[in-house]
């Protein structure tokens, strides 16, 4: 058997780079990325926003779902350079600045809609996109609407209940499903801010 | 009085962080680490002729490449056989990198380290490996036929043969008024957690210490294995299981090749290194479970009472046998379920095949055993023309017969002895929940509309909380925070909440003041791991015992300070106070300060514990001989045997008469896991298990072709259920406390998945009249069976 053993080489990294400018959760960001860089990797490893998760990298599990100009997309099937000039919302962009959960997040908590939490950011973003599109869904529509994301832990019951509650919460709330939760001046107890 | 938290549906404290995207899973860490990718075998069985790295060395961003020959001697030894058993006559485990031969698609051959995963994959693509393909052995039957061998020196392909008996099954069957024999198959599936495997290592050259983060269910054992392979002292290695995106058994396997290689490379290169498995790798290189072929022979009387049961099965453990015989031993014992079997014989062969190795997946051998036993009962009922629940009832062990020792050896090497349970009570609850007796009417009504309905049920008993032990540490800080730690790790079970409930109850504090850390060897170095529905039973009780010790110490210190008899004191609302006169009290954090005699008043609160503030008895040492400073304690829970949970599921299905499409219309669960720590969390465990059971019955299978190629290694082709495939579930909890542990709890993690295939098969059979003897089943398979049956009767 012939092989080159434990070889160490370093060639100067000469990757082509492209500059991208986009808005992430309301903040303008500029970065230079390789054209093949996936949006999921760009978010997770270049911007170090690791709330967006990767469960399959082939567009089936929905863990990587983010909102592009308000509509849910799979960030694992999207090149970072293709969102130049666009507006992204990730799971980090939903809770209020003091940590108060967004109504969708709060509903997941109220209904035990997560266990390990790995699929959760994807579900939360999908739910936001779904409710923006369909503010008053019935139970079958919720089940269909959430059927683009996989969860291996919960069996989905808590997730479906959560989306139902969230739909109701938006009816009387100032928050748009795709926007950061704003806390009313008189309700800033930050009761959910934890570790 | 503070209300009791154990048993209350306390909202999970882990949720806000996870919901905000602030989780810390392995791949979220180590942003500057080098990343690895692995050259994996495309062949199920081949000899490696040549490896050519030249083209790969040109890749931009490449750091280094390693093959077997580059490894130090210790890393050239095979990985451990984790659970040795005397019946294993031919044990083989894999190498961290293939040593001249590959035995399954996905086996690791070369490790590439690069600046990022993109570059690492570029290099992997350019590594040329020449193979001499060898015949692949696929499936348990071909393995046992032994025309070809997986390992040259094991021509039979058999790693182990084991037999266990109760009474004399062959004679009992021969003498029985009725006899049946048949075969029952279950195919391969896998845990497939949403987070794949991951390992991240940091070598600190200054401190000569290694820190390892791994997505593992067994961090203490990973630490020990890494220390052994890297020839480091245990004190130089720490292993942390951070947030884990689901385990379901596959992450109890360890050490994975990457779990050894990544820390080794980090040390060699003096740079952080990380491995994050991709989904395709997970399908072929992370372990599977379930595949068994089972032959049953049963003898019974006119009432359906089983007089003798003889079971023989072949367990396909894949290319290697790192986890020993755990899965088949569980099948062979847990198959018995809630029934009184006085004559039972079970024999199995555990065989090698050229497929991904098999280690436990949630349920761990029980779904196969439950399928064998419950399908047997259904056959007996059909043979006698009796209601299936009646035949179950005549075979039940009665509550007053428990504890009941079967005289078999369980997976922990200890007695197979049921501690408590009420099986007739469970059946009555299930029949009511699903309206079993009203089904005939529902069926008739459906039939009138040309619809096919069927109902089925299955029962199980699950040995949970296996030993040998877990420990808990509880500490009250002088600021009032209660720190709790235990060594096993968490994959979504909500331990941060349920363990806090246990400690808070004992110490009379707010649950929000309790911080729980699991799976961090820096905090608690002794542990076994999270598997076999054991975390709540084992660590829960250990934490309870440790908290109790802390409570006793707090009472003693407060009793001296308040000059009140300890018996007249209670812990509530963060204080130690006099029962009936809560104004005479001392804050628990003050007790914590007083527990540690000080020289230095580093802050205002500390003054009370300093030497001149608290002179004490001049003849006694400030810390008594049998005492220690600090309001803290460690304790361990180590039971003599497992505690046995039980339950029953009933399923109503509708089968489309034209297409044979199968829809689960109703799913009812009766579940008894003893005292419930947190009913919300337990319900979540059951619902998650049921979803996996439904997936395993109707959708999920590892589709290997005859060459050992996995044909469906992606979520596009391996059909994990979405929300649209999982039925809504009705649950009824019974609570028969375990007499074996102070909290009275039994494990709940796996139960939901166990009876799925058995119950759904029974319902499909009931709807269609087709005997279902193999699972999973697709509509097209069912359709073919129905067509064949129709043509043979016409
Ligand atoms: S990671 Fe993008 S869909 Fe699975
Ligand atoms: S909560 Fe674990 S995958 Fe959904």
Ligand closest in space to the Cα of A62 = 1
Does pLDDT of A187 surpass 70? Answer: no
Residue B747's pLDDT is what?
87
Nearest beta carbon to residue A147 from set B118, B494, B723:
B723
* Structure-token match 């514990």, residue found: B609
The residue of chain A with its CA nearest to that of B681 is A112
- CATH code for the domain in which residue A45 is found: 3.10.20.30
Q: Please state, in angstroms and rounded to a whole number, the distance separating the CA atoms of residues B134 and B378.
A: 43
Residues of B in contact with A121 (CB under 8 A): 21
Answer whether residue B76 shows pLDDT above 70.
yes
A70 and A116 part of one domain: no
pLDDT at A176: 87
- The one-character DSSP state at B452 is E
Strand positions, DSSP E, B340-410: 344-351, 404-409
In this complex, which of A3, A63, A155 lies closest to B51 when CB atoms are compared?
A3
**What average pLDDT does this structure show over A159-187?**
85
Name, in order, each residue with C-beta under 8 angstroms of B621's C-beta and a sequence gap of 6 or more. none
Determine what percent of chain A is predicted with pLDDT higher than 90: 78
Least confident of A168-182, B228-242, B488-502: A168-182
Q: What integer pLDDT is reported at residue B85 of this predicted model?
A: 95
- Contact residues, chain B, for A45 at CB < 8 Å: 31, 116
Q: What is residue B757's predicted lDDT score, i.e. its pLDDT?
A: 97
Distance from CA of A37 to the nearest CA of B (A): 8
Nearest C-alpha of chain A: how many angstroms from B729?
Answer: 8
Q: Write phi, then psi, for B555 (nearest 5 degrees).
A: -65, -40
B13 at A interface, C-beta within 8 A: yes
* Residue at token pair 């099965």: B313
Q: Which residues pair with B793 in a beta bridge?
A: none
- DSSP letters, B510-546, are -GGGEEEEESBTTT------S-TT-HHHHHHHHHHHH
Mean pLDDT of B371-378: 98
Q: Are residues A25 and A85 in the same domain?
A: yes
pLDDT range class, residue A11, cuts 50, 70, 90: very low
B129 touches chain A (CB under 8 A): no
Residue A118 has its nearest CB partner, among B25, B714, B720, at B25
Q: Is B20 on the interface with A (CB under 8 A)?
A: yes
Cβ of A116 closer than 6 Å to ligand 1, yes or no, is no
Q: Closest approach of chain B CAs to the CA of A151, in angstroms?
A: 7
How far is the C-alpha of B515 from the C-alpha of B497, rounded, in Å? 9
Confidence (pLDDT) at A191 = 44
Pairing mode, strands B470-476 and B631-637: antiparallel
The pLDDT confidence band at residue B532, using thresholds 50, 70 and 90, is confident
Cα three-residue angle B493-B499-B504, rounded to 5 degrees: 145
The β-bridge relationship of strands B643-655 and B729-734 is unpaired
Q: Checking DSSP bridges between strand A65-68 and strand A87-89, what pairing results, if any?
A: antiparallel
- Contact between A117 and B278 using a beta-carbon 8 Å cutoff: no
Residue-level pLDDT at B435: 96
Higher pLDDT, B409 or B756: B756
Q: Are residues A89 and A132 in the same domain?
A: no
For residue A11, count CB atoms less than 10 angstroms from its CB and return exposed for 0-12, middle for 13-18, buried for 19 or more.
exposed
Tokens coding B641: 């045997």
Contacts of B8 (CB under 8 A, 6+ apart): B501, B678
- Asked whether residue A65 falls in the same domain as residue A86, the answer is yes
Residue nearest to atom 3 of ligand 2 (CA): A151
What mean pLDDT is predicted for residues B666-680? 93
- The fraction of chain B above a pLDDT of 90, given in percent, is 89
The whole-angstrom separation of Cα B137 and Cα B145 is: 10
Q: What is the spatial distance between Cα B295 and Cα B312, in angstroms, rounded to a whole number? A: 5
Answer yes or no: are the C-beta atoms of B58 and A11 closer than 8 Å.
yes
ipTM: 0.95
Q: How many angstroms separate the CA atoms of B436 and B449, rounded?
A: 21
**Distance separating alpha carbons of residues B225 and B210, to the nearest angstrom:** 13
Q: Is the CB of A125 under 6 A from ligand 1?
A: no
CB B325 within 8 A of CB B162: yes
CA distance, residue B216 to nearest chain A CA (Å): 13
**Is A117 close to ligand 2, i.e. is its CB under 6 Å away?**
yes
Look at residue A86 and tell me if it is in a domain.
yes
Q: Does B50 touch chain A (CB under 8 A)?
A: yes
Q: Say which CATH architecture domain B32-134+197-276 belongs to.
A: Alpha-Beta Complex (3.90)
Topology of domain B289-466+640-793 in CATH is Aldehyde Oxidoreductase; domain 4 (3.30.365)
Confidence of residue B1 (pLDDT cuts 50, 70, 90): very low
Helices A157-171, B679-698: axis angle to 10 degrees equals 120
Indicate whether B315 pLDDT > 90. Answer: yes
* CA B279 / ligand 1 centre spacing (Å): 10
Mean per-residue pLDDT for B501-512?
96
For ligand 1, atom 3, name the residue with the nearest CA.
A59
Averaged pLDDT for residues B40-68: 97
Instruction: Give the bridge partners for B789, in sequence order.
Output: none
**Cβ of A64 less than 6 Å from ligand 1:** yes
C-alpha dihedral, B776 to B779 to B780 to B781, nearest 10°: 40
Place of tokens 């348990």: B140
Q: What is the pLDDT of residues B393-424, one digit of tens each?
A: 999 999 999 999 999 888 888 889 999 999 99
Chain B residue whose CA is closest to A99: B20
Q: Angle at which helices B219-229 and B257-269 pack, to 10 degrees?
A: 50
Average pLDDT, chain B: 95
Give burial (CB, 10 Å; 0-12/13-18/19+) of B793: exposed
The 3 state secondary structure assigned to B632-673 is EEEEEECCCCCEEEEEEEEEEEEECCCCCCEEEEEEEEEEEC
A21 and A41 in a common domain: yes
B442 CB burial (10 A radius; 0-12, 13-18, 19+): middle
For A157, which DSSP code? H
Q: State the distance from the centre of ligand 2 to the C-alpha of A123, rounded, in angstroms.
A: 10
Do A117 and A72 reside in the same domain of the chain? no
User: Comparing A181-190, B51-60, B139-148, which segment has the lowest mean pLDDT?
Assistant: A181-190
**Phi, psi for residue B313 in degrees, rounded to 5:** -145, 160
Q: Quick check: bond before B403 cis, omega within 30? A: yes
Helix (H, G, I), strand (E, B) or coil at A74: strand
B380 has a chain A CB within 8 A of its CB: no
Please state, in angstroms and rounded to a whole number, the distance separating the CA atoms of residues B369 and B697. Answer: 14
Q: Which CATH number characterizes residue A137's domain?
A: 1.10.150.120
Is any ligand 1 atom within 6 A of the Cβ of residue A24?
Answer: no
Best residue in A117, A124, A139 for a mutation probing chain B (most B CBs within 10 Å):
A117
Q: Which residues of B373-389 are buried (b: 16+ CB within 10 A; e: fewer)?
A: bbbbbbbbbeebeeebb
Distance from CA of A43 to the nearest CA of B (A): 11
Closest by alpha carbon to B216, among B533, B465, B519? Answer: B519
> Range of A25's domain?
12-93
Label residues B654-675 b or e (16+ Cβ within 10 Å = b). bbeeeebebebbbbbbbbbbbb
For residue A181, the model assigns a pLDDT of: 87
Q: How far apart are CA B587 and CA B557, in angstroms?
A: 12
Separation of CA B526 and ligand 1 centre (Å): 37
Q: What is the pLDDT of residue B566?
A: 94
Query: Parallel, antiparallel, or unpaired for β B108-114 and B158-166?
Result: unpaired
3-state helix, strand, coil in chain B (%, to 5): 30, 25, 40
Query: Chain B residues with CB inside 8 Å of A101's CB?
Result: 16, 19-20
Indicate the pTM of the whole model. 0.94
Q: Is residue A179 part of a domain?
A: no
Q: Are residues A132 and A76 in the same domain?
A: no
- Residue B23 C-beta-side C-alpha neighbours within 13 Å: 31
Q: What is the model's pLDDT at position A194?
A: 41
What residue of B is the nearest CA neighbor of A159? B723
Tokens matching residue B761: 């098969």
pLDDT tens sequence across B698-748: 999 999 999 999 999 999 999 999 999 999 999 999 988 999 999 999 988
Pairing status of strand B178-186 against strand B292-300: antiparallel
Domain ranges of chain B: 32-134+197-276, 289-466+640-793, 468-637
Pairing between β-strand B273-276 and β-strand B237-240 as defined by DSSP bridges: unpaired
The encoded tokens of residue B474 equal 């509880």
- Residues B157 and B351: their CA atoms lie apart, in Å, by 5
B132 touches chain A (CB under 8 A): no
Count of C-beta atoms within a 10 Å radius of residue B445 = 11
**Alpha-carbon separation of residue B581 from B1, B569, B578, B629, B720 (angstroms):** 12, 10, 5, 29, 59
CA of A125 to the centre of ligand 2 (A): 14
Instruction: Say if the Cβ atoms of A115 and B100 lie within 8 Å.
Output: no
Q: Is the pLDDT of residue A190 over 50?
A: no
Helices B388-395 and B366-384 cross at an angle (nearest 10°) of: 110
B23: distance to nearest CA of chain A, Å? Answer: 7
CA distance B459 to B443: 23
Partners of A3 on chain B (C-beta within 8 Å) are 50-53, 67, 69
Tell me, what's the pLDDT at B466?
86
Residues in chain B within 8 Å Cβ distance of A51: 20-23
The sign of the CA dihedral B426, B429, B433, B437 is positive
Distance from the CA of B14 to the center of ligand 2, in angstroms?
A: 13
Please name the member of A37, A120, A156 whose beta carbon is closest to the beta carbon of B19.
A120
- Looking at all shown ligands, the one closest to residue A39's CA atom is 1
CA of A126 to the centre of ligand 1 (A): 12
**Residue of A39, A41, A53, A64 to mutate, ligand 1, most atoms within 8 A of C-beta:** A64
Residues in B touching A41 (Cβ below 8 Å): 117
Give the pLDDT of residue A62: 98
C-alpha distance from B183 to closest chain A C-alpha (Å) = 31
* Residue A172 CB-density burial (10 A; 0-12 exposed, 13-18 middle, 19+ buried): exposed
B492/A115 Cβ within 8 A: yes
Q: What is the pLDDT of residue B793?
A: 75
d(CA A126, CA A134): 12
| pLDDT tens by residue, B538-585 | 899 999 999 999 999 999 999 999 999 999 999 999 999 999 998 999
Q: Which two tokens stand for residue A82?
A: 């293709």
Chain A residue numbers with beta carbons less than 8 Å from the beta carbon of B727 are: none
Question: Given this chain, do its domains B32-134+197-276 and B468-637 carry the same CATH topology?
Answer: no
Interchain proximity A44–B279, CB inside 8 Å: no
Which of A8, A109, A150 comes nearest B63 by C-beta? Answer: A8
Architecture of the domain made up of B468-637: 2-Layer Sandwich (3.30)
The secondary structure of B91-139 as a DSSP string is -----SS-SSEE-STT-EEEEEEESSHHHHHHHHHH-EEEEEE-----S
Report pLDDT digits (tens) over A39-92.
Answer: 999 999 999 999 999 999 999 999 999 999 999 999 999 999 999 999 999 999
User: Total structural domains in chain A?
Assistant: 2
Q: Which of A57, A72, A119 to mutate to test the pocket of ligand 1 (most atoms within 8 A of CB)?
A: A57
Model pLDDT, residue A186: 56
């Amino acid at each position: 058997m012939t092989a080159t053993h434990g070889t160490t080489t370093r060639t100067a990294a000469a990757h082509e780079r492209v500059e991208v400018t986009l808005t992430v959760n309301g903040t303008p960001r500029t970065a230079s990325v390789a054209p093949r860089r996936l949006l999921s990797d760009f978010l997770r490893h270049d911007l170090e926003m690791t709330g967006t998760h990767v469960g399959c990298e082939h567009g089936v599990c929905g863990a990587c779902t983010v909102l592009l100009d308000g509509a849910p997309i799979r960030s694992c099937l999207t090149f970072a350079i293709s969102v130049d000039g666009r507006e992204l919302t990730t799971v980090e962009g939903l809770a209020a600045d003091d940590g108060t959960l967004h109504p969708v997040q709060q509903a997941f908590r109220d209904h035990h809609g997560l266990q390990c939490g790995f699929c959760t950011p994807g579900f939360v973003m999908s739910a936001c996109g779904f409710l923006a599109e369909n503010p008053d869904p019935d139970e079958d529509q919720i089940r269909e609407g959430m059927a683009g994301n996989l969860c291996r832990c919960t069996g989905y019951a808590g997730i479906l209940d959560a989306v139902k509650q969230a739909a109701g919460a938006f009816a009387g709330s100032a928050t748009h499903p795709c926007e950061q939760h704003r806390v009313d001046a008189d309700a800033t107890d930050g009761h959910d801010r934890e570790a | 009085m503070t209300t009791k938290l154990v048993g209350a549906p306390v909202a999970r404290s882990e949720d806000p962080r996870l919901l905000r995207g602030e989780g810390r899973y392995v791949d979220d860490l180590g942003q500057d680490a080098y990343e690895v990718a692995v050259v994996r075998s495309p062949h199920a069985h081949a000899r490696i002729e040549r490896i050519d790295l030249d083209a790969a060395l040109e890749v931009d961003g490449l750091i280094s490449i390693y093959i077997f020959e580059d490894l130090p001697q210790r890393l050239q030894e095979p990985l451990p056989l984790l659970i040795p058993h005397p019946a294993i006559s031919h044990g083989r485990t894999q190498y961290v990198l293939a040593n001249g031969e590959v035995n399954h698609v996905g086996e690791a051959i070369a490790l590439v380290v690069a600046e990022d995963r993109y570059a690492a994959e570029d290099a992997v693509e350019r590594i040329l490996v020449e193979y001499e393909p060898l015949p692949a052995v696929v499936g348990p039957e071909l393995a046992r036929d032994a025309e070809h061998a997986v390992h040259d020196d094991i021509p039979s392909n058999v790693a182990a043969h084991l037999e266990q008996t109760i009474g004399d099954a062959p004679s009992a069957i021969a003498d029985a008024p009725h006899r049946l024999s048949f075969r029952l198959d279950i195919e391969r599936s896998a845990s497939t957690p949403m987070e794949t495997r991951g390992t991240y290592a940091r070598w600190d050259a200054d401190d000569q210490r290694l820190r390892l983060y791994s997505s593992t269910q067994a961090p203490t054992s990973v630490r020990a294995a890494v220390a052994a392979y890297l020839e480091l002292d245990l004190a130089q290695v720490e292993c942390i299981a951070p947030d884990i995106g689901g385990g379901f058994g596959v992450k109890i396997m360890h050490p994975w090749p990457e779990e050894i290689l990544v820390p080794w490379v980090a040390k060699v290169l003096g740079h952080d290194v990380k491995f994050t498995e991709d989904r395709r790798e997970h399908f072929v290189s992370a372990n599977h479970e379930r595949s068994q072929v089972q032959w049953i022979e049963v003898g019974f009387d006119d009432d359906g009472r089983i007089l003798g049961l003889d079971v023989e099965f072949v367990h396909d453990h894949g290319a290697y046998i790192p986890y020993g015989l755990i899965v088949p031993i569980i099948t062979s014992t847990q198959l018995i379920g809630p029934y009184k079997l006085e004559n039972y014989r079970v024999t199995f062969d555990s065989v090698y095949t050229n497929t991904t190795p098999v280690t436990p997946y949630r349920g761990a051998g029980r779904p196969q055993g439950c399928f064998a036993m419950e399908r047997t009962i259904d056959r007996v009922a059909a043979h006698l023309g009796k209601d299936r629940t009646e035949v179950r009832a005549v075979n039940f062990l009665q509550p007053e017969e428990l504890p009941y020792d079967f005289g078999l050896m369980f997976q922990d090497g200890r007695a197979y002895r049921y501690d408590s349970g009420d099986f007739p009570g469970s059946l009555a609850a299930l029949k009511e929940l699903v309206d079993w007796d009203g089904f005939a009417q529902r069926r008739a009504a459906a039939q009138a509309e040309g619809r096919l309905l069927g109902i089925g049920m299955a029962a199980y008993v699950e040995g949970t909380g296996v030993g040998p032990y877990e420990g808990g540490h509880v500490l009250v800080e002088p600021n009032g925070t209660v720190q709790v730690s235990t060594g096993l790790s968490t994959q979504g079970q909500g331990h941060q909440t349920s363990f806090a409930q246990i400690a808070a109850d004992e110490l009379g504090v707010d649950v929000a003041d309790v911080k729980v850390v699991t799976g961090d060897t820096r905090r608690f170095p002794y542990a076994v791991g999270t598997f076999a529905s054991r975390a709540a039973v084992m660590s829960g009780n250990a934490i309870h015992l440790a908290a109790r010790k802390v409570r006793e110490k707090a009472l003693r210190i407060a009793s001296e300070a308040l000059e009140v008899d300890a018996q007249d004191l209670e812990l509530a609302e963060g204080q130690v106070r006099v029962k009936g006169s809560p104004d005479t009290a001392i804050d628990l954090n003050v007790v914590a300060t007083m527990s540690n005699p000080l020289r230095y008043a580093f802050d205002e609160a500390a003054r009370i514990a300093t030497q001149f503030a608290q002179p004490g008895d001049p003849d006694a040492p400030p810390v008594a001989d049998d005492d220690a400073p600090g309001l803290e304690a460690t304790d361990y829970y180590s039971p003599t045997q497992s505690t046995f949970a039980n339950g029953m599921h009933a399923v109503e299905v509708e089968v489309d008469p034209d297409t044979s499409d199968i829809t689960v219309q109703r799913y009812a669960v009766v579940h008894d896991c003893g005292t419930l720590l947190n009913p919300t969390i337990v319900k979540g465990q059951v619902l998650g298990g049921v979803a996996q059971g439904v997936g395993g019955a109707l959708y999920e299978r590892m589709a290997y072709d005859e060459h050992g190629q996995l044909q469906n290694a992606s979520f596009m082709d391996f059909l994990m259920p979405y929300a649209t495939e999982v039925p809504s579930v009705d649950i009824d909890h019974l609570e028969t406390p375990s007499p074996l542990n102070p909290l009275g709890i039994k494990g709940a993690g796996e139960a939901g998945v166990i009876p799925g295939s058995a119950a759904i098969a029974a319902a499909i059979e009931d709807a269609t009249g087709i005997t279902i003897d193999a699972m999973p089943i697709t509509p097209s398979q069912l359709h073919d069976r129905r067509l064949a049956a129709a043509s043979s009767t016409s």
